[in-house]
Structure 1
Amino acid sequence: MILRRAFRSSVTRSPKWLRRCLGETHGAVAVEFALVAPVFLSMVMGILDIAQYAYGQAVLRGAVEKAARNSSLEGANTATADAKVRNAIRHVLPKADVRSSRSSYFDFSDIGRPEQWNDANGNGTCDNDENFTDENGSGFWDPDIGEDGNGGANDVVVYRVEVTYKPVFPVPYTTRDDGLRVVSASAVKKNQPFANQDDYGSDVGTCVDP
């Protein structure tokens, strides 16, 4: 109360032009809008950006699951399956760069495991003239035994798709340095047993230092 009376008293004793300025309210709405608008617009853009990302991720997962399932059938056309994934995601993420890969394994337990070798020096890498079994027939030791491609009958296939796109409603500091964002999805399916499954190779090779 004392402060309020002091303020009123100081205003009363102020020059006429200052009292006029203190009582002027024209343009207050414009000032308030200038203060609130950037925050409000940033929130709206952020919501739209997150919504586009979440929707794109959901569409990609569904398309990848369907493509992986279709590719597990006898006579499956993987190029057609990949094209359907691209068409599905580009409806949500326009002009997106879609890249896919497939790795096949004999069994689920083989996913991500290296080819067998005698790790004499215990460093986790085949080197120093250590012997290895060329199970996938590549001619050299592989830290991942998987073979590129859709495999054969009864093989387990890991299907991965990575999508790089430019957000329609980009929010600063949420994208890569080039302004792009990445979403990805993967699916693991076992091919139908439409024929006899090929086993891994048993040729022996020797690893040398690079």
Structure 2
Amino acid sequence: MRGRPTLPALAVGILLTLLAASPALASSYRYWSFWDGAGGRWQYATQGPSSARPADGSVQGFRFAVSKDAAAEAAQPRAAAGFAAICGSTPAVEGRKRVALVVDFGLAADAPAGEAPPQEAPRTACAQVSPDATAAEALAEVAKPLRYDSAALLCGISGYPKQGCGEPMADAEPKPAQPSAPQSAAQDPSAQDPSDGGPSAGLLVGLAAVAALAAAAIWQSRRRTR
């Protein structure tokens, strides 16, 4: 006959369950993300700008922001992905291709310390380049200077930002408030969601229960030894 779990075993089981259920502290990054424009919408690019070779009539987007390095959570360019609106007035030339580019320098809240976006609204341009040109080469035609790190990661467009490249930022770190934005829960420490930082109320209660079970186990073991 199998015995019932002892109090110490129950305590360990509860603790492991609580630790497994508690969310891990993820990180976001401050970086230039790269996007493909398709059907008027943005899709997170599956290749880097140095390897992607867009076809004539393509739309490519770049967005600087603090966001997660994932398609579902990265910040998209804030301008529409429309080729006609950007390159419609640029005539086609034989032996060249046209690539519509959207460069979004992002928000002041995402800027590195001591810097600010060169302009508030996204910049659009039509690059006319050779048929085998990469997206990075098309970008260089309209938004120099570009800055790369030793791993060929795109770090700066048109000189912005001046330094830094994909540095991690803790998700729990509050972003600076935008001058025109209303105060929000993420900016007001007194109104923050408990899940945004520190242990949750449920986790604290669970840990207290584990401590109580452990104390009971010690008391029970002492009774048995008397």
> Common fold, TM-score beyond 0.5?
no
Q: Which has the higher contact order (CA 8 A, sep 6+)?
A: 1
Structure 1 or 2: more strand by fraction: 2
Greater C-alpha radius of gyration: 1
Q: So what's the TM-score if we normalise by structure 2? A: 0.22
Q: Which is richer in helix? A: 1
